[in-house]
Structure 1
Amino acid sequence: MTHTTSHVFRQPFRSLEEFAEMISYHLHCPVTIEDANHQLLAYSTHGDGADEARISTIISRRVPEKLINRFWKDGIIPTLNQTRQPVRVPEIPEFGLGSRVAVSIWKHEEVLGYIWVSDDQQRLLDAELELLKDAAATAKKELLKRSRQRKKTHQSRQELLWQLLLGEHTEKIKSEQHLAQVQADETVYISLLVFDEQNEESKRQIDYMVQASYPDTIPLFLWDDRQLVCLVKAEKDVDRHQFLRKLTGKLQERFVIKQKESCCGSYVQGFDSISKSYQEALRILALKKRFPEELDTAHVYQDLGVFKYVEQLDRSNHVHPGIGLIQQYDAKQGTQLYETLVVFLKRDGNMNEVAKLLHVHANTLTYRVKRLESIGSFSLKDPLQRMGLYLDIIMMEP
């Protein structure tokens, strides 16, 4: 047990690395110091007290993703983000993690980082836990300085992404391309997530998740009102649908935050083409907003099907005259043939599904289809005519 008073950490230190060594010396345990996104900032020498998780963190300069996920599931990170008291972390043998004690480093209501102590070989006592709290208070000044520098860098990255999204090609962009952490010939795409009204706390949580869980996959991101815009590196075994499912799943799992819409632009190579992927993603969102039911499951351009051509169609084009005749017939007879036609076309002529949606017997639906063909003078069995009628109805919708 240590007999040192808490004032021991009030003495000056030349670097965060030296401070980590100071903590380790007085607590007799290996120490690591991380920022709020679990990037490794400093660590002490460890002698024989290093487990697999510590070594992996030091080598990669950040906490392994599998451990971050486990800490969230076990409630460790949520607890650290709510208390200024040291938190005991039991060992996780399958991840090579020995027992730990962790404490958050706070500036007012913001978590700047964490101090982790490996006490697998020598369990910290109450007096040493008090020392650890004092160490966190002392580290605040140094982490605050690094936090400000990180925020400046993040702001520069946001400005760079805006320029890439807008297709600007200036000398400044060329000189700052290293901020994107993307090679000129690397395949990337733009992802857009639209959320309900977000306050600053919700945005901060989402920013944390992106930076902590996707530091290599999402090198640049920014907020455009309620829209999160991400520059994403293409992964070999993960397509765009899988990426969106994983990203939105983590948001819901960790923060109970749900997005309204999500989509991805096309794969592109080269900084000059990023704006193309962005514009394509915006078009997908616009079409999903206009046709929410039809495009509910559309998340990439290929999912749009025939809706890819809607913007190219002229609303003034002549609509099939049969549609008008059916609407006139309904108005005179009080029937619902036009509704039947719309549902029939939207369900691609699936008679069983259409009958269920309209709550009619199959024989009744068969009769209605024949009446539609007779009044409208078209064939609903002909795929070309059926597609033409579908496009006409799409263009008639507001």
Structure 2
Amino acid sequence: MTRTTSHAFRQPFRSLEEFAEMISFYLHCPVTIEDANHQLLAYSTHGDGADEARISTIISRRVPEKLINRFWKDGIIPALNQTREPVRVPEIQEFGLGSRVAVSIWKHDEVLGYIWVSDHQQKLLDTEIELLKDAAATAKQELLKLSRQRKQTHKSRQELLWQLLLGDYSDRIHSELYLAQIQSNDPVFISILVFEEQDEESKRHIEYMLQASYQDTIPLFLWDDRKLICLVKAKDVQDRRLFLQKLTGQLQERFVIKQKESCCGSFVNGYDSISKSYQEAIHILSLKKRYPEELDTAHIYQDLGVFKYVDQLSEAICIHPGIELIKDYDTKQGTQLFETLVLLLKRDGNMNEVAKQLHVHVNTLTYRVKRLESIGNFSLKDPSDRMGLYLDLIMMDK
């Protein structure tokens, strides 16, 4: 094949499918065209040249998640996102993937999509590799049109999610939910992730991850400053903690994105209860901000423990008088009894752990406990006294 055939792609074509067939004709190999999130846009006929991975991609209209993960681990997708040159992809037998050559479709510094050529039956020549680069340049305009359409769809779905979060249900919400593949009685929950970074590049990385690997699980999401708010389908996510671990783990593994906080509201059945799950998630974040040490590992509502009731307690709560007596004693005697009390309550009376943190012997700590109980007129062995004192300390920090 000569270099003059590079002009073959300058002729008009009626659809991406026709363009995929055109590329396949000149390269003599099956071709697929994907968007930047690995959704299948078009594919050529393949005769007997289809492997298992190609068939699976065509049936589901996107690249299987396990294959996307493997491409990331093998450095294939990072390479495609960094160069305009075609990238050779070796065979991966366990996933039924024959050898490939892939090239990115670029607009300035943004990847719009990819062209994949299955060449496991007939390896591409260097001249055909150059031809593939021309095909990627020609595909840019078609993918730009699709990109604009999808951005508009994403904007309308952000507005839909805000309606659900705020409990504002219009008459047309049923049809909008249907288009977003959400049934009115689907079990769902709201998840919120807070990130330290909020630049546009980081956001694009995160959105790529959601659209490429979580489209079925997270049909709707939006940004509220540095907070990523997701509507999560419960069907494929039985454990909210595992969901958060998987999502944040993959983001950090692939993009080194710093995630600050994460939490989930309760499971709810039906879109009319989504605002309840959202309010719970917001409440968790609010409490984690006020009590960062105590609630460091709290990610769902049940993790809050007694902190669930902090806002329900009266502002005029009567603090145990023994606390002020202990503070006065510390001021006059130069002791650290109040610090000891705080640690004992936070560590649930674990004497060895508290002694280690205070750098004192357990016998010394035992003496301090007796002084605390004597001065404060309470018993740290009594669950009622201990819980009451702990709530008092929480309210003092409110």
- TM-score, normalisation: structure 2: 0.98
Contact 2:104 2:111 (C-alpha < 8 Å) held by counterparts: yes
Contact 1:99 1:120 (C-alpha < 8 Å) held by counterparts: yes
Q: Distance in 1 between matches of 2:217 and 2:356?
A: 44
**Per-residue CA distance 1:282-333 (angstroms, 9 max, x = gap):** 0000000111111110000001111111111123211011001001100110
Q: Which amino acid is the alignment partner of residue 53 of structure 2? A: A
SS of 1:5's equivalent? helix
Q: Distance in 1 between matches of 2:164 and 2:236?
A: 24
Q: Distance in 2 between matches of 1:359 and 1:248?
A: 37
SS of 1:284's equivalent? helix
SS of 1:257's equivalent? coil
Taking the TM superposition and a 5 Å limit, the aligned residue runs for 1:338-349 are: 338-349=338-349
SS of 1:197's equivalent? coil
Contact 1:6 1:131 (C-alpha < 8 Å) held by counterparts: yes
Partner residue, 1:218: 218
Q: Distance in 1 between matches of 2:375 and 2:58?
A: 75
Contact 1:164 1:271 (C-alpha < 8 Å) held by counterparts: yes
Q: Distance in 1 between matches of 2:177 and 2:61?
A: 23
Partner residue, 2:368: 368
Q: Distance in 2 between matches of 1:299 and 1:148?
A: 36
Partner residue, 2:152: 152
Q: Distance in 2 between matches of 1:192 and 1:248?
A: 11
**Per-residue CA distance 1:35-82 (angstroms, 9 max, x = gap):** 010000110011111000000000100000000000001111011011
Q: Distance in 1 between matches of 2:248 and 2:221?
A: 15
1:132 maps to 2:136: no
Partner residue, 2:324: 324
Partner residue, 1:26: 26
Q: Distance in 2 between matches of 1:105 and 1:371?
A: 74
The Cα shift of 1:3 comes to: 6.2
Q: Which amino acid is the alignment partner of residue 277 of structure 1? A: S
**Per-residue CA distance 1:141-173 (angstroms, 9 max, x = gap):** 111101111111000100000111111011232
Q: Which amino acid is the alignment partner of residue 340 of structure 1? A: T
SS of 1:160's equivalent? helix
SS of 1:171's equivalent? coil
Residues 1:175 and 1:235: Cα distance change in structure 2 (over 3 Å)? closer
SS of 1:23's equivalent? helix
RMSD: 1.0
SS of 1:228's equivalent? strand
SS of 1:32's equivalent? strand
Q: Distance in 1 between matches of 2:257 and 2:320?
A: 45
- Which ranges of structure 2 fall in alignment gaps of 5 or more residues? none
Partner residue, 1:7: 7
Partner residue, 1:185: 185
Q: Which amino acid is the alignment partner of residue 339 of structure 2? A: E
Contact 1:157 1:179 (C-alpha < 8 Å) held by counterparts: no
1:68 maps to 2:59: no
The Cα shift of 1:237 comes to: 5.9
Partner residue, 1:167: 167
The Cα shift of 1:180 comes to: 3.1
Contact 2:194 2:259 (C-alpha < 8 Å) held by counterparts: yes
Partner residue, 1:302: 302
SS of 1:159's equivalent? helix
Taking the TM superposition and a 5 Å limit, the aligned residue runs for 1:1-398 are: 1=1, 5-235=5-235, 238-398=238-398
The Cα shift of 1:337 comes to: 0.3
The Cα shift of 1:182 comes to: 1.2
Q: Distance in 2 between matches of 1:131 and 1:332?
A: 86
Contact 2:38 2:63 (C-alpha < 8 Å) held by counterparts: yes
Q: Distance in 2 between matches of 1:20 and 1:359?
A: 71
Percent identity over the alignment is 81
SS of 1:120's equivalent? coil
**Per-residue CA distance 1:180-203 (angstroms, 9 max, x = gap):** 321111100000000013210010
Q: Distance in 2 between matches of 1:37 and 1:314?
A: 51
**Per-residue CA distance 1:102-141 (angstroms, 9 max, x = gap):** 0001111111100000000111111001100000111111
Contact 2:165 2:275 (C-alpha < 8 Å) held by counterparts: yes
Residues 1:122 and 1:2: Cα distance change in structure 2 (over 3 Å)? farther
Q: Distance in 1 between matches of 2:2 and 2:238?
A: 50
**Per-residue CA distance 1:248-307 (angstroms, 9 max, x = gap):** 000000000121000000000111110110000000000001111111100000011111
Contact 1:88 1:102 (C-alpha < 8 Å) held by counterparts: yes
Contact 2:17 2:42 (C-alpha < 8 Å) held by counterparts: yes
SS of 2:275's equivalent? helix
Q: Distance in 2 between matches of 1:182 and 1:77?
A: 30
SS of 2:249's equivalent? helix
Q: Distance in 2 between matches of 1:72 and 1:217?
A: 20
Q: Distance in 2 between matches of 1:135 and 1:26?
A: 10
- Which ranges of structure 1 fall in alignment gaps of 5 or more residues? none
SS of 2:288's equivalent? helix
Q: Distance in 1 between matches of 2:179 and 2:295?
A: 35
Structure 1, 225-234 or 177-186: larger mean CA deviation: 177-186
Q: Distance in 1 between matches of 2:291 and 2:248?
A: 22
